[in-house]
Amino acid sequence: MSSFDVDLFVIGGGSGGVRAARIATSYGAKVMLAEEHRMGGTCVIRGCVPKKLYVQASRFADDLEDTRGFGWSIKDAHFDFAKLKVAKDKEITRLEGLYRQTLEKNGVEIVAERATLKAPHEVLLADGRLIRARYVLVATGGAPSFPDTTPGITLAEDSNTFFEWDSLPKSLAIVGAGYIGVEFACLLQRLGVKVTLITRRDLVLPKFDHDLRQGLHDAMSASGIKIITGNDVEMISDHCGNLSLKLHGDVSLDVERVIFATGRKPNTKGLGLEALGVALDAQGGVKVDSYSKTNLDWLYAVGDVTNRVQLTPVAIREGHAFSDTVFGKRPTAVDLGPVPTAVFATPELGTCGLTEEDARKAHDVVLYRTSFRPMKATLSGHSEKVMMKILVDRPSDKVLGVHILGEGAGEMIQLVGIAMRMGATKRDFDSTLAVHPTAAEELVTMRTPVG
């Protein structure tokens, strides 16, 4: 008789943990999963999904303006944030139910409480129960990172609390210009909030291709978002019901609310990892090998808690590969390159592969780049531009990176990612027939190198 209560105990009910649990049961494993908050994790509850719904709502502001150029006359258009939040909450509740339903249908026992590691193979539940598991998977994701030393930081909010707002402020400061910062800035500005974005960098979106960064930065400024570069918040104080922000160089501003979007850190605090000797990185991320195994044979980790690539599809793939490896007896390492990704700012970004800066460090690069006004803008009168660039390795003709700025960039880069995964060359792009008239056809019609 087995000395274990379950074959697998999963700590965390987000995308990675749920996928791992479901696939493990398909191999016959007995699985228990603990989630102390809501099922679905960051992506479903307070991340990708509600964010994208808000982004889509915000873009109707541009669409309503554009209609006039196409002969439409829409009067008395009115936005009601309270109605949007109710609709968003209803959809999130539906999705959470589907996550729970899927696990239960597959025989996973769900425990709605906190779980921590007690000893090797032992998980302690908040109600005092001790569960012995043959394997434990940590899939607790990440959490917003705050600068603890900033005076008045308790007056600020993070990306999690934003999705609980019942009303919008008239003015807002967002500190940080990564994924979260620029997406929030763009959607809130279009919903009528006066937004100031503060970043220590010279442009938004560090680590992205420079041309995309510059293009988005300029578009955000043109839309009315005030961007303060090369600066940071020294202090926050309450001033007559508003928040007063003091920045470096005697710069100050008053706003109703402030969001810090200065990154996320692995959610490992209090799990009991250190006491068991689990190897962690400097940010608290769980160190794992290419099969998601820690330095302990019985303990694995997937998703943002490992501090590798913090993207939901990556967590899902890692969770699936873990179960294939451990319970399917099919060792499966996750190949994390090239990874297509999108930033749902307005305009939208889609990117896959190397940035121009990184490509030139390791390759003899041929650069193709184009910028044009999309067809819709010719009648709407909108000043938007689409920018695309392709980076090619000269000796092999292999496509190293593709970067798109403009409407539909996320959809386009998903399909480009398939081609790049297959090792597409520039000749492959050139020999593909264009779909006309589309913006995407530019990807297969760029013929003249620019660098």
In tens, the pLDDT along 347-360 reads 999 999 999 999 99
- Mean pLDDT for the stretch of residues 110-115: 95
Q: Which residues contact 184 (CB under 8 A, 6 or more apart)?
A: 51, 159, 162, 174, 259, 261
List pLDDT tens digits, range 53-81.
999 999 999 999 999 999 998 888 899 99
Q: Which two tokens stand for residue 220?
A: 């955000």
> What pLDDT shows up at residue 263?
87
How many C-beta atoms lie closer than 10 Å to residue 218's C-beta? 14
Percent of the chain with pLDDT over 90: 87
Name residue, tokens 């590969």: 321
What confidence category does residue 309 fall into, taking pLDDT thresholds of 50, 70 and 90?
A: confident
Q: What angle do CA 268, 274, 277 make, to 5 degrees?
A: 130
pLDDT of 138 strictly over 50: yes
Separation of alpha carbons 343 and 139, rounded Å: 24
The H-or-E segment that residue 136 falls in is strand 130-138
Question: What pTM did the predictor assign?
Answer: 0.93
pLDDT given for residue 1 in this prediction: 41
Residue 144 clears pLDDT 50, i.e. is over it:
yes
| Residue 116 pLDDT greater than 80, yes or no | yes
Distance, CA of 254 to CA of 257 (rounded, Å)? 9
User: What's the whole-number mean pLDDT along residues 257-284?
Assistant: 94
**Considering the chain, what is the average pLDDT of its residues?**
95
- What pLDDT is stored for residue 238 in this prediction? 93
Q: Pinpoint the alpha helices (H) of 286-380.
A: 312-326, 356-362, 375-380
**Catalytic (active-site) positions:** 436
Q: Which two tokens stand for residue 39?
A: 């099922």
Domains in the chain, CATH or no CATH each: 6-144+265-326 (3.50.50.60), 153-262 (3.50.50.60), 341-444 (3.30.390.30)
Whether the link from the prior residue into 338 is cis, omega within 30° of 0, is: yes
pLDDT tens profile 266-276: 999 999 999 99
The pLDDT assigned to 2 comes to 67
Over residues 163-168, the mean pLDDT reads 96
